[in-house]
Amino acid sequence: MSRLQVEHVFKVFGPRPDEAVRRLQEGAERDALRADGTTAAVIDASFGVAPGEIFVVMGLSGSGKSTLLRMLNGLLTPTAGRVLFDGQDLAALGERELRQVRSTRISMVFQHFALFPHRSVRENAAYGLEVQGVPRAERERRATEALELCGLAGWEDSWPDELSGGMQQRVGLARALATDADLLLMDESFSALDPLIRRDMQDQLLELQRRLRKTIVFITHDLNEAMRLGDGIAVMRDGRIVQVGTAEDILSRPADDYVASFVQDVDRSRVLTARAVMTGAEEQGRHAQTPSGCGCPSVAPDTPLGELCAVSARVPHPVVVRDADGRVAGVVPRQRLVGLLGDEPRAPLACAGAVTAGA
């Protein structure tokens, strides 16, 4: 079952929202509604997010990402459609129940969230628990644990202004984790960071996710970030979701010309990782028996496709993908790599020669 189910959700700002929804359902374009001061921020969005998944919503500025996210925790009520969280329609909850769900089960991490300057890092991380009324000793313990998970052990008693931008963003993440919420909503949480720190935060989030298995909805306008983080990715354009799929789906089978133009300059050999192209869980069982004796080389899940091709070219076997504990996470047969290359005549992979040579 989906942890989060979004069913034909609309959000319209303006004088006659219901009428606007009806017109949109009949095929009116977003721009046609603007004349009477109506903004169709989200139009007929549907998708599901499975427990333990990182679901990325990607789109340009103004495409409706933040509005969509705010409907996922009930901060905004859909004009039409439903948002189900563990099967429960958020709009059907009373104000108190909704506040309860929002403070204990769903956490939000923003792009620029303000740390309280006159509170220690620990007190900042404990803020969500304080709002919940958790006693001081327990909230300090949980905040300390969350800070440690986010790589901030030893900084608990520092002041926010003693921390770098990346570290401050980690405090935000720790604040969200400390509440023990199952669902994390992250709106451009890493967008304000320098590229290197941003990449570091992405790694850290993936590592945390491996251990904690939260359900995460992550908003970004950055394609590379979407591809690195997303188990599933929704591409938004002008309020509509134009494609939902894996990174590989979106690169290899773009739903329309817009998505195709969005991804055309992407260097797949760097953006796609072993995790994105390895065989699915149902096939793994079959292949998982072969690796130990077959001399198959193994790579980490975040190995870029370019490196993967080079490894694959050296041996006749499939490449095994192992997580940090050495467990088999998946397998990449060579045909799969060749298939990925074959799909894209415009931007051949850097490793195309290597694969052909080894095939």
Ligand X SMILES: Nc1ncnc2c1ncn2[C@@H]1O[C@H](COP(=O)(O)OP(=O)(O)OP(=O)(O)O)[C@@H](O)[C@H]1O
Instruction: State the first-to-last Cα distance of the chain, in angstroms, to the nearest integer.
Output: 41
Question: Sign of dihedral through CA atoms 97, 99, 103, 106?
Answer: positive
Q: Is 67 in the site for Mg ion (CB under 5 A)?
A: no
In the complex, the smallest distance separating the C-beta of residue 140 from Mg ion, rounded to whole angstroms, is: 33
In the complex, the smallest distance separating the C-beta of residue 78 from ligand X, rounded to whole angstroms, is: 13
Q: Which residues contact 33 (CB under 8 A, 6 or more apart)?
A: 12, 14, 20, 23, 24, 39, 40
Work out what residue 67 binds among Mg ion, ligand X, none; the CB cut-off runs from 5 to 8 Å by kind. Answer: ligand X
Contacts with ligand X, residue ranges (CB under 6 A): 13, 39, 41, 59, 61-67, 221
Work out what residue 284 binds among Mg ion, ligand X, none; the CB cut-off runs from 5 to 8 Å by kind. Answer: none
Q: What's the alpha-carbon Rg for the chain, to the nearest Å? A: 22
In the complex, the smallest distance separating the C-beta of residue 243 from ligand X, rounded to whole angstroms, is: 16
Give whichever of 139 and 237 is closer to Mg ion, judged by the CB atom.
237
Give whichever of 65 and 175 is closer to ligand X, judged by the CB atom.
65
Cβ–Cβ < 8 Å for 326, 310:
no
Work out what residue 62 binds among ligand X, Mg ion, none; the CB cut-off runs from 5 to 8 Å by kind. Answer: ligand X
C-beta atoms surrounding 213 within 10 Å: 12
In the complex, the smallest distance separating the C-beta of residue 259 from ligand X, rounded to whole angstroms, is: 16
Find the binding residues for Mg ion in span 87-116 (CB under 5 A): none
Kind of pairing between the strands at 80-85 and 4-13 = antiparallel
Give whichever of 108 and 276 is closer to ligand X, judged by the CB atom.
108
Phi, psi of 110 (to 5 degrees): -95, 175
Tokens of 336: 């799969």
Q: How many residues bind Mg ion (CB under 5 A)?
A: 1
Give whichever of 22 and 112 is closer to Mg ion, judged by the CB atom.
112
In the complex, the smallest distance separating the C-beta of residue 156 from ligand X, rounded to whole angstroms, is: 32
Cβ–Cβ < 8 Å for 227, 276:
yes
Instruction: State how far the Cα of 261 lies from the Cα of 282, in Å rounded to an integer.
Output: 33
Give whichever of 110 and 155 is closer to Mg ion, judged by the CB atom.
110
Instruction: State how far the Cα of 130 lies from the Cα of 127, in Å rounded to an integer.
Output: 5
In the complex, the smallest distance separating the C-beta of residue 98 from ligand X, rounded to whole angstroms, is: 19
Give whichever of 42 and 163 is closer to ligand X, judged by the CB atom.
42
Instruction: State how far the Cα of 274 lies from the Cα of 259, in Å rounded to an integer.
Output: 22
Give whichever of 82 and 221 is closer to ligand X, judged by the CB atom.
221
Q: Is 66 in the site for Mg ion (CB under 5 A)?
A: yes
In the complex, the smallest distance separating the C-beta of residue 63 from Mg ion, rounded to whole angstroms, is: 9
Cβ–Cβ < 8 Å for 152, 167:
yes
| Residues forming the site for Mg ion (CB under 5 A) | 66
